[in-house]
Structure 1
């Protein structure tokens, strides 16, 4: 139990180039897991072990690694997941946060809060993950600690608890001041930051440090009743009392502790490890996990301890050339030993666990037993996919699955060699099983194989995987946008479907109102207002099923319908000829007829483009954005550069990364992420290929 109490399952989340991987590397080095400092620029980091990650200098796949940290007389086990910052791989962040207990949100001291910072923050809030903040890269020119803190508060609407302030910034960044202990900390460059000295606060920072400490104590008292009592009665305030109160506030997600440093310069990482141990939750800080019994269809809960019925959640599936399929799981309750059998309620089949491993990035350590709180890999499973729950054979239980976004871009692909077709199909099936945001479809009109994903980079990386891992050369077409269709008005329609071909016939009669939804949700809003049983209850679900099926192919250009509202209010049946499937057909036919009356518009995916460049190239960038039908929403200073934030149609962003580099002589960068769907202008509509 003590081991679980001292266990921390944490994720590293941030926008692109905030320094996530470097922070992770330093944490592994200072905890003694590695004996050499890895750097992204050198391509020798532990967590970015994939050749493409080393080549591109970005994290593509979330990596799990386990280490230990000693704080005072306690030893803490820390499972770290380093997640991608690039939005094309947001699914990696999503499924990692689903199984983590806490997170470190990293911000660049120079560029501050970026749009992708908001995306990963919202993902963590979705799963109620407590966080601590680390303002990294304080050695960068233009780094501004106070400004970044203000941005965090303004952007996320959360109070910060500043626990450290920097000594200098940019080239003059020397160390940090610990607000709780009121000590200045300086790291030794002679031993790569393994040791540091604590000294008196420099004269020029004494007043600022005192003000921050007074503010911190007042803030803590405002959030924590236990601390407030001691604070108001002016009792002695110990460092332990402060740390305990900050932990309670962090777990409640009332405020976020803020630390700072420079991972690249080896400054501030050890206090960050202390903060992870002190403030972020253990698996025991949440009492139960909620799910439902699929056999009885009732909600159930299980306690998060080793004595409970085994409950594990598969958040990632990997294919390893030596051991086959590995299901990465978070064990929420009970325990697992090698050789045991678990039930997969989705398939109804049992899975034999031949081995249990703890993954150390690209290495594997055998485990004789895994217990509640552990994140590990299961070898031997056959039919497990991302989002499956594994439980004891006689105790079916399902945890909430992960919802993945729909793809926004597609490519037609085929193997160059005709005799590679079987290998091609098997390889696509494998990479699609590992990446739930990737889809493989066959175009029913052309017979082409389509690869669908979250962005140009996403598809580029997966195609490179086909070449490097599976030895397949692939022909590819131009990228195509996944458009959506949308009804523009509400109409009423009656559809009668009848067919007689000897014997029992087919008959269904439905009257309904159809139009756009009046909320911001996607999909079908189906409202049943049938009275008097004119359509039997058992057929109502068939009507809904028919409309859901119909939405897959719109009437304008055949693209899926984004959202729709249907009110079924009347209808009729034939005593002998009516069947459930007849009502599905009636709904499909009725949709096609009614949609023409309602009017349909085409929607295109709109990307948020965040372009950073030196000021001298600003005119070129804004001009290029305008040429791409983009709308600039803001321009702000980001360190020594300018950042342009714009809404740009996805169709106009193909090849944009290369264009930005060309326009800025290689000194600019761009980050793209999906924002929303908006109507396509009439002039553009005529140029779109079906």
Structure 2
């Protein structure tokens, strides 16, 4: 049986959950049309998702689509569109073989579109493009295709053209078969395949010619056929070339739909089978040492009924219930009690998982997101999943002493599930600091504490994830000396502390010791000490983003010097030298994108400027203005509420992390 593991990714309000719901309906998995507005979708099962009308947690489900007489097993993962939940997109893309990138036919490429697109680039995920909401006022298929090409630098090539737009959207022209697909039935289950309308024939000919020219540029075999005799090229030739180009990420086929109106989804299912890769079509994943079984745990879910589940993508071999595996992170064996197939928030017991499968395991202890599980006799470590660091935090405390234990237990479970959450204890105040990706992220977490764990908390003012950096170079000599009657402690180092010049984060450590003044094993301890010292800056106690250390001299005592002494002297030296190195605060700056009616442009830009924002671009799109600005995160608390007030609720905004810059 054919298999596809795909994700549905997009910015907020592009309609990806609706697209997913229609796919489940037309494949026969569901028997009613789920709608986000009505709160009856299969994929958005969290009460907060129904209440807020957004996807918060990625959801997986398996269905089957009959294509050309063959059944294809399709595992779908519907991912969030809000930047605060970007970790859900990150871990999903890490284990998927392909993706459908959904864009709104009116709003086009948004900031979060760019974020998820670049995430897919990082994991080299082949994708097809769906321009959805062709029934919306202001829908412009050609404009969105052009934006994808220019803003995302992607070779997006239409394989369909819309027939009509807005209220007149009736169906699509298939440029591969040169036929028209028209939807008449209210539920969209049936559609008519007919000849291309006369008023669209010329545009279809031009678009098909463009498609074949683009294929000729990226596929040598197709180029030879195209230049020899274009009339001899068959539908199968085009499909084969499209499939190869899509899998190699040389080209992204573009389709269109109006999923809410039940038009254009069945051809999307066909395209997923036609053009996106099966697990065996992709190159081997990166790992150390080949294994007879290898799987990556990409998500932890705590279920009240089943307990702690590990969602796993199998890359090699077969896993059966009762098998014992090796966890490369812990260095311990784990026994798998049960295997489950994921069906959104429900699970079905299965006997085994094979290479290419995505499923859930039950019974394995001490699992974390990113763990590699492999055969004990052929241990392997797969490339880990990278997550962004939390941006803001709140001080929180339980409202009563008896709830403190419940709060601690609840936070422990939430941290297992969400790798972008962190909990720290402030050294000076003793407060518990809960950190996350943004205000919405933390609001969702606090609501979960209340609804799922019956723990209410008091929260303090928002805290920004500042960093510290140095602006000057300083040379320093540090000595650590201690004598207690017997064996003592001694270490001395001479070093230069300076800013990094390569623009990278972290410690740049240069060993410039000559003549063995400090033994090799102690130099490693010096580096370790400076790395640890960067965790607490001297200006305000924030982590140091980057620094350069050049160690050029030092001394040891023949009997009293130890490795820990050189870690300690690095700490001492850092604290003393850092004060003289011109420490400055770095603050996170966000890229803010606002879409507002034209008459509110002045009010929106004035408010952004008042928040110390820099207006980068103002672009007209129909009667709306798209405003992009760089704004310090510290100035953005409560911004969405203010924006709604300024624009009578008619504007929308999204934001993503842009960079750290010197605080003003």
TM-score for the superposition, normalised by structure 1: 0.95
SS in 2 for 1:564: strand
Structure 1 residues 162-241: aligned runs within 5 Å = 162-190=158-186, 192-234=187-229, 236-241=232-237
C-alpha distance in 2, partners of 1:641/1:33?
Answer: 39
- Out of 330, 342, 345, the residue aligned to residue 325 of structure 2 is 342
Residues 311 and 389, structure 1, Cα contact 8 Å, conserved in 2: yes
Q: Deviations over 1:333-360 (max 9, x none)?
A: 0111111111112112221111111111
Do 2:111 and 2:655's aligned partners in 1 also have CA atoms closer than 8 Å? no
Deviation of 1:172 after TM superposition, in Å, equals 2.1
Aligned to 1:463: 446
Aligned residue in 2 for 1:521: 504
Where does 1:138-177 land on structure 2 (aligned, <5 Å)? 138-177=134-173
Bigger mean CA deviation after superposition, 331-340 or 514-523: 514-523
- How far 1:200 sits from its partner (Å)? 1.4
Contact 2:290 2:378 in 1 (8 A): no
Q: Do the aligned partners of residues 317 and 639 (structure 1) sit closer, same or farther apart at CA in structure 2, a change above 3 Å counting?
A: farther
Report deviation, 1:289: 2.4
Residue 55 of structure 1 corresponds to 51
Is the 8 Å Cα contact of residues 49 and 55 (structure 2) preserved in structure 1? Answer: yes
Q: Supply the distance in 1 between the matched residues of 2:281 and 2:382 (Cα, whole angstroms).
A: 19
* Mapping of residues 462-481 of structure 1, within 5 Å: 462-481=445-464
- In structure 2, C-alpha distance between the alignment counterparts of 1:238 and 1:435, rounded to whole Å: 49
| Match 1:512 to one of 482, 495, 504 | 495
CA-CA distance at 1:158 after TM superposition: 2.2
Q: Is the 8 A contact 1:314 1:327 kept in 2?
A: yes
Equivalent residue for 1:485, pick from 454, 468, 472: 468
The answer to whether the 8 Å contact 1:142/1:640 transfers is: no
Matched residue of 1:402: which SS?
A: coil
Q: Which residue of 2 aligns with 1:245?
A: 241
Indicate conservation of the 8 Å contact 1:31/1:68, yes or no: yes
Aligned counterpart for 1:129 among listed residues 125, 132, 137: 125
Aligned to 2:358: 375
Q: Deviations over 1:490-513 (max 9, x none)?
A: 222221221212211111111222
Does residue 361 of the first structure (1) align with residue 344 of the second (2)? yes
- Equivalent residue, structure 2, for 1:687: none
Question: Unaligned regions of 5+ residues in structure 1, if any?
Answer: 293-299, 303-308, 682-690
3-state SS of paired residue (2:139): coil
Distance 2:525 2:157 in 1: 55
Q: Is the 8 A contact 1:412 1:476 kept in 2?
A: yes
What pairs up with 1:580-595 in 2 under 5 angstroms? 580-595=563-578
Q: Distance in 2 between matches of 1:351 and 1:473?
A: 35
Match runs of 1:34-53 below 5 Å: 34-53=30-49
Q: Any idea what the Cα deviations from partners look like across 1:250-271, whole Å, max 9, x if unmatched? A: 1111111111111111111111
Q: Is the 8 A contact 1:110 1:639 kept in 2?
A: no
Could you list the per-position Cα deviations for residues 609-639 of structure 1 after superposition, in whole angstroms to 9, with x for gaps in the alignment? 1111111222221111111111111111245
C-alpha RMSD over aligned residues:
1.2
Runs of 4+ with deviation above 3 angstroms: none
| Secondary structure of the structure 2 residue equivalent to 1:288 | coil
Match in the other structure for 2:88: 92
The whole-number CA distance in structure 2 between the counterparts of 1:471 and 1:503 is 57
Following superposition, the deviation at residue 287 of structure 1 comes to: 4.3
Q: 1:518-597 counterparts in 2 under 5 A?
A: 518-597=501-580
Contact 2:389/2:420 (CA < 8 Å) preserved in 1?
A: yes
**Residue pair 1:188, 1:194 contacting (<8 A) in 2 also:** no
Three-state SS of the structure 1 residue aligned to 2:260 is coil
Aligned: 1:661 with 2:656: no
Q: Distance in 2 between matches of 1:483 and 1:639?
A: 39
The C-alpha deviation readout for 1:46-82, integer Å capped at 9, x for no partner, is 1111000010011111101111111102211111111
Answer with 224-233 or 364-373: which moved more: 224-233
| Equivalences for residues 398-413 of structure 1 within 5 A | 398-413=381-396
Query: In structure 2, the residue corresponding to 1:42 is in which secondary structure?
Result: coil
8 Å Cα contact 1:141-1:639 kept in structure 2? no
Q: Is the 8 A contact 1:512 1:567 kept in 2?
A: yes
Q: 1:84 is paired with a residue of what secondary structure?
A: coil
* Residue in structure 2 matching 1:271, options 267, 272, 290: 267
Tell me the distance in 2 between the aligned counterparts of 1:71 and 1:403.
36
2:254 to 249, 258, 264: 258
| CA distances 1:269-316 after superposition (whole Å, capped 9, x unpaired) | 111111110111111012422212xxxxxxx345xxxxxx11110000
Please point out which of 427, 431, 438 is paired with 2:410.
Answer: 427
Distance 1:457 1:19 in 2: 20
Contact kept? 2:494, 2:553, Cα under 8 Å:
yes
- Give the TM-score taking structure 2 as reference length: 0.98
Shift in Å, 1:240: 0.9
Q: Does 1:619 align with 2:602?
A: yes
Distance in 2 between the 1:287 and 1:621 partners? 48
Q: What residue number does 1:103 align with?
A: 99
Q: Deviations over 1:191-226 (max 9, x none)?
A: x10010012111111111001111111111111111
1:157–1:490: structure 2 CA closer, same or farther, 3 Å change rule? Answer: same
How far the C-alpha of 1:394 sits from its partner, in A, is 2.1
C-alpha distance in 1 between matches for 2:74 and 2:514: 59
CA distance in 2, matches of 1:348, 1:215: 55
Residue pair 1:505, 1:577 contacting (<8 A) in 2 also: yes
Q: In structure 2, how many angstroms separate the alpha carbons of the residues matched to 1:109 and 1:640? A: 15
| Equivalent-residue separation in structure 2 for 1:19 and 1:565 (angstroms) | 47
Native 8 Å contact 2:185 2:191 kept in 1: no
Counterpart in the other structure of 1:31: 27
Distance of 2:476 and 2:166 partners within structure 1: 67
* Partner residue, 2:16: 20
Quote the offset at 1:418 in angstroms. 1.2
Query: In structure 2, what is the Cα distance between the partners aligned to 1:12 and 1:287?
Result: 22
1:437 Cα deviation from its structure 2 partner: 0.2
